[in-house]
Structure 1
């Protein structure tokens, strides 16, 4: 399996002209969210079709007024779309609005884009979805991601309203942040819970607003997980989906001062999700403060919440400095590890692997960055401890 749970397939391209196109995930929409969702679904290893209602991407138009991250994303997307087109054994016909849509799709490629193709109907077909392009042409998918006007979808579901996934502002009075699958920095210190994306009583259906670029990858990963494991979206595995998104450098915690290029970004993201080190929230922005010294009071209760043995250790070690020596002792006691072995390992990795600028010193009070890396490396609270739908620790 690739990364955490998905497999990429590399097989010989085959051009088909089918009445019913079959795919794992179908994304409908023409905005940023649809492109982001379909690209993540593809990268996560399942067959994906993006159905748009506009012409093929024009990189010059896309780049106007957008941040560099979005521009880079569309460059990668367009590169993949061009590679798909070149792999076809026959050229794609130019769209003719006067004639019924004729779709040529490479069924063995994981990502296919059908541009400028309106659809006339959406309906459930057993446990799958069927979207009609014309009277005799349709797409069948295991999972549907709607990033477009949901009017036809609501008609199919016989409902009068459908709310898109919404984010929450980061706060530590509740633990929902531990279920994050997206950082929504465009709204300040906001995050999106996986469970905000799931629609009650509507399996294998996700609905996101067309302009929610930051949420798109989360929808794509959740859809791909359900399709890959042939399961329901309500049975999504939070840790696997979070891990998949982190593997592709998608930020899950909205830390303003720790970017993806930081050498310790992954460890800080993982420890941030656990809440063992909490961000400082100022003017609707979250700051991890990685170079600030960590304090006894801020980490005592969170670690005790995660590990039973930590309660004993902290009771026996009251109000001590969180230096390298004490942290190593705590980690080894809680994790049943050899103190000397961990010290040797840390000394070897301190500057070379972790890229710390400080010197290895057992009496040095650790920064929040250093503490996060050590906790992530030797206790693995994010990887090894599960949480429930509210973010409560399951022990």
Structure 2
């Protein structure tokens, strides 16, 4: 069972009292980002209403985008609506067919509601949440608001003249902000930090670019976290949101050469986020180079940054090859594990669990793939070590 942060959620359907719809997350827009935000919020276990303010979604990326939780969820519903077996490729779908699938999805879902052709004429704060007035007698109340277009409609409610849109940053290892990523941007070297999604001095509202599917998914999970825990977006838990998005196969690092279908995708991403192994950035794209051998110099300082005991181990083991035997020595010293028992355990898992194509050999120089999987499992730097808003390691 996936260890999602909404694992104990009760599936409470959207309900209506008089003419007020109450929901957890309200998304404004009809774009790829609006669709992805609504799907991810519901996949994460909360209610979401997407108010398209038009005759439906205008989606451009959903058909050709790499498989993530959002696209897989859509494909599942599309196959059901079109009565297609898994073995049959989905046909080319125009927006009319896409919206027909989404309508069937919305009509049968307890959590997702899509409302078309219903513009709002006023939106305002309502307690810690929001209220959008559709007519004099009809409104939608939500805990968290996601805006994907026309932000000027809510300026008066916020008493501002502009609103900060979520901005991505190019991967730059001279800074540590990449450790706070909640989305890598496909085909680029850019990522979105959680702290560039949150709006300073504005709670429970997110403003995102309309055409970015990945950022929409990240915003949906962030909004769902605040709604589920009845908290403010400024109190978002970075690790829980990252973990939720990883469980739904959103690439948090924009690795060009590590596909979602890779059996070691999760471990590589977790180690990539820590910076213990750093990728190469070439021509605006990011390459993890999973089959390249690990060098002593590239891991020495990053591991020491994460673990005090690593300082002693590296002082006692200078300029040694990073083979399997030495890596086991390091993880056992730093993680207080028994060496022989760890060797036996890794040997059993080498091909069957880890899906490595190589043979178990203690003298084997480890690839970045193999090193990532072992460090992730036995030291857990991503899961067990926190970082601050700038990505600095907190020990």
Structure 2 length-normalised TM: 0.89
**In 2, Cα distance between equivalents of 1:271 and 1:50:** 35
- Structure 1 alignment gaps of length 5 or more: 88-108
Contact 1:62 1:74 in 2 (8 A): no
- Structure 1 residues 236 and 328, CA gap change in structure 2 (3 angstroms): same
Q: How does 1:341-360 map to 2 (within 5 A)?
A: 341-360=341-360
Distance in 1 separating the partners of 2:77 and 2:146: 18
Structure 1 pair 167/384, CA: closer, same or farther in 2 (3 Å)? Answer: same
**Aligned position for 2:133:** 132
CA separation of 1:247/1:81 partners in 2, compared to 1, >3 Å: closer, same or farther? farther
The alignment status of 1:259 with 2:266, answered yes or no, reads no
Residues 65, 221 of structure 1: alpha-carbon distance in 2 compared, 3 angstrom cutoff:
closer
The equivalent of 1:269 in structure 2 is 269
Q: What is the DSSP-based 3-state SS (H/G/I as helix, E as strand, rest coil) of the residue aligned with 1:185?
A: coil
1:191-243: CA deviation from partner (whole Å, max 9, x where unpaired): 00000011011000100011121100110011000000000000000000000
Deviation (angstroms), 1:14: 8.7
1:174 paired residue number = 175
1 CA distance for matches of 2:273 and 2:62? 32
Cα displacement string for residues 350-391 of structure 1 (whole angstroms, at most 9, x for unaligned residues): 000111010000000000000000000000000000000000
Cα distance between partner residues in 2 of 1:284 and 1:274: 21
3-state SS of the aligned residue for 2:331?
A: helix
Using a 3 Å threshold, how does the CA distance of structure 1 residues 363 and 253 change in structure 2: closer, same or farther? same
Residues 25/272 of structure 1: CA separation in 2 closer, same or farther (3 Å cut): same
Gaps of 5+ in 2: 79-100
Single out whichever of 75-84 and 286-295 deviates more from structure 2.
Answer: 75-84
Count of matched residue positions in the alignment of Structure 1 and Structure 2 = 369
* In structure 1, C-alpha distance between the alignment counterparts of 2:196 and 2:215, rounded to whole Å: 11
How far 1:128 moved relative to its partner? Answer: 1.3
Shift of 1:66: 5.1
Deviation at 1:281, TM superposition (A): 0.7
Task: Say whether 1:373 aligns with 2:373.
Answer: yes
SS in 2 for 1:215: helix
Runs of 4+ in 1 over 6 A off after TM superposition: none
Write the mapping of 1:1-395 to structure 2, written as runs, cut at 5 A.
3-6=3-6, 7-10=8-11, 16=16, 18-56=18-56, 62=59, 67-69=64-66, 74-76=74-76, 79=101, 81-86=103-108, 109-186=110-187, 188-395=188-395
Normalising to structure 1: TM-score of the pair?
A: 0.89
Contact 1:39 1:77 in 2 (8 A): no
Distance verdict in 2 for CA 1:117–1:74, change over 3 Å: farther
Over residues 3-61 of structure 1, what are the superposed CA-to-partner deviations in whole Å (9 max), with x where a residue is unaligned?
321145457x797573111111111111110000111000001111111122245xxx8
